[in-house]
Amino acid sequence: MNGISIEIKNLSKKFGELSILEDANISIDPGDFFAIVGKSGCGKSTLLRLITYLEKPTSGSILLDGKPVDRINSDVRFVFQDARILLWKNVLDNVILGSPTRSREDALWALKAVGLEGREKSWPIVLSGGQRQRLSLARAIVGKPKVLLLDEPLGALDALTRIEMQQLIEKLWKEQRFTAVLVTHDVAEAVTLANHVIVMDNKKIHKDIHVELARPREHNRDFAYYEEKILKYILKPKDTKGAEYVI
């Protein structure tokens, strides 16, 4: 087990007068997989930025492995929707730059883990959208992080590539057992990947839904049960009928 616990205690965050989070409490076990869903602008990215210390709480605390977050920590890595890749560096050098040890061997291992073996010398510009996200993942896992934060990493990809990438994220998580926190607009994606789904709305953490389904998850009635349960907390009742599973 590589993952560590994340505890969020009575966390509040304001930007000036704008209140984003009020008295939020979340407890994530080492190696667990959490998803965060909620409407645009409700504060999902801000919550991830608080965990990485890119933002500081207005009040309350965040503990990683029982210790208060008081600096940017290389054990915590971030993957964003737009792959943040250096276009003037080749694939291998992009991963080496993400490695705390700058180790070529580690970078080759990470590229193999994400299925980009043989593409070391390619320029990022020639990679497809899915391959670029593989590269972002390689850069994030190369230092064997204890926490991986994923902020809508698959949002820009087509449906089939998304499914492939979900499988890849699940494989990496099973192999390395980092603690994963995924922000997504896609309720099906949350149910596919997470053990716990948190719904954020109106400055509150509304619900922590425990998804008790075997992996890999199949799209059956039990799956649909969780999708509906989550949607119930996101949508007003009048919107639920015929709504798409994307918010």
Of 45 and 166, the one with the shorter C-beta distance to Mg ion is 45
Of 46 and 90, the one with the shorter C-beta distance to ligand ATP is 46
Cβ neighbors of 99 (< 8 A, separation 6 or more) are 106, 107, 110, 142, 143
What is the Rg, in whole angstroms, of the alpha carbon atoms belonging to the chain?
18
Given Mg ion, ligand ATP, none, residue 15, with its beta carbon under 5 to 8 Å by kind, binds ligand ATP
Closest approach of Cβ 150 to ligand ATP, in Å?
Answer: 12
Nearest to 199 by CA among 175, 240, 218, 227: 227
179 in contact with Mg ion (CB under 5 A)? no
**Count of residues touching Mg ion (by CB under 5 A):** 1
45 in contact with Mg ion (CB under 5 A)? yes
Of 42 and 150, the one with the shorter C-beta distance to ligand ATP is 42
Pairwise CA distance, residues 114 & 126, whole Å: 17
> Strand pairing of 147-151 and 179-183?
parallel
DSSP letter at 77 equals E
Closest approach of Cβ 91 to ligand ATP, in Å?
Answer: 28
Of 111 and 197, the one with the shorter C-beta distance to ligand ATP is 197
* Residue labelled with tokens 């089939």: 160
Q: 25 in helix, strand or coil?
A: strand
Residues that bind ligand ATP (CB under 6 A): 15, 18, 20, 38, 40-46
Cβ neighbors of 142 (< 8 A, separation 6 or more) are 95, 96, 98, 99, 106, 107, 109, 110
Closest approach of Cβ 18 to ligand ATP, in Å?
Answer: 6
Of 223 and 245, the one with the shorter C-beta distance to ligand ATP is 245
b/e map 223-246, b = 16+ CB within 10 Å: beebbebbbebbeeeeeeeeeebe
Given ligand ATP, Mg ion, none, residue 41, with its beta carbon under 5 to 8 Å by kind, binds ligand ATP
Of 39 and 171, the one with the shorter C-beta distance to Mg ion is 39
Given Mg ion, ligand ATP, none, residue 4, with its beta carbon under 5 to 8 Å by kind, binds none
Closest approach of Cβ 21 to ligand ATP, in Å?
Answer: 9
Residues that bind Mg ion (CB under 5 A): 45
